[in-house]
Amino acid sequence: MPVLWIVLGVVVLLAIAVATSYNRFVSQKNLIRDSWANIDTELKRRYDLIPNLIETVKGYASHEREIFEEVARTRSMAAGATGSPAAQAAAEGPFMAALGKLFAVAENYPDLKANQNFLALQGELTNTEDRLQTARRFYNANVRDFNRRIQSFPSTFIARMFNFKEAEFFEIDDATRQAGPPQVSFAPTAPPAAAPAAPPATTAPPTSPPSDPGPPAPPAPS
């Protein structure tokens, strides 16, 4: 009888351990899903800003048609990439590169850089990019913890038992990520500071020749 109770106790402990590990996997998976929703929200906000941005730039640089078409095409591809995070990241690379070209065009038009609508759009894009990077880091941290548990002993057996698969990271291609989000400086360009003028060279006054002291004085009478 004591052996039976020991066996039952071990079985109960194993069941509790399995249930605890399973519930933790479920919680982590839900956290990954919620953190991805934050990324998706910021991506959609950025996509919605692009048409207005293109129209604003067109008013000043209508001849840059090729860049406008590239931005619109890559935006549509990125917005339509609703599959895995890896597929979404692959579509984001060309879109961000095209967006960078559009902002590079804006640098050539001072009147455009002073346009209030353009300033507001650029500021909103910058804020969206900051929120997106924060959401991306949070999502990738959750994916890293989840994948680590799947690969670790003994939780790997629970993952296999309940078919938990490793999640995908959301990583933009290295070159695009290192370049960072497109930024445009709207600070007025200060003219280069003039080099300080060299002080006028001082010339020493001409030295006058010593005056003739004249004949020596006669000696005093003794």
Residue 181 has pLDDT above 70, yes or no: no
Q: Which among 116-120, 145-149, 158-162, 211-215 has the top mean pLDDT?
A: 145-149
pLDDT at site 173 = 63
Q: Which residues contact 161 (CB under 8 A, 6 or more apart)?
A: 18
pLDDT at site 27 = 94
| 56-82: b (≥16 Cβ within 10 Å) or e | bbeebbeebeebbebbeebbeebbebe
pLDDT at site 14 = 85
Average pLDDT over residues 108-132: 90
Domain 2-179 - what CATH class? mainly alpha
Across the chain, mean pLDDT equals 80
Residue 132 has pLDDT above 70, yes or no: yes
**DSSP class of residue 213?**
-
17-36 residue pLDDT tens = 889 999 999 999 999 999 99
pLDDT at site 18 = 87
Residue 3 has pLDDT above 60, yes or no: yes
Quote the CA–CA distance of 97 and 182 in Å, as a whole number. Answer: 9
The neighbour count for residue 33, using CB atoms within 10 Å, is 12
Quote the CA–CA distance of 191 and 214 in Å, as a whole number. Answer: 66
143-174 residue pLDDT tens = 999 999 999 988 999 999 999 999 999 987 65
Confidence of residue 221 (pLDDT cuts 50, 70, 90): very low
Domain regions of the chain by residue span = 2-179
CA angle 170, 172, 175 (to 5 degrees): 160
Residue 168 · residue 86 · CB < 8 Å = yes
More confident of the two residues 31 and 221: 31
62-80 residue pLDDT tens = 888 899 999 999 999 998 8
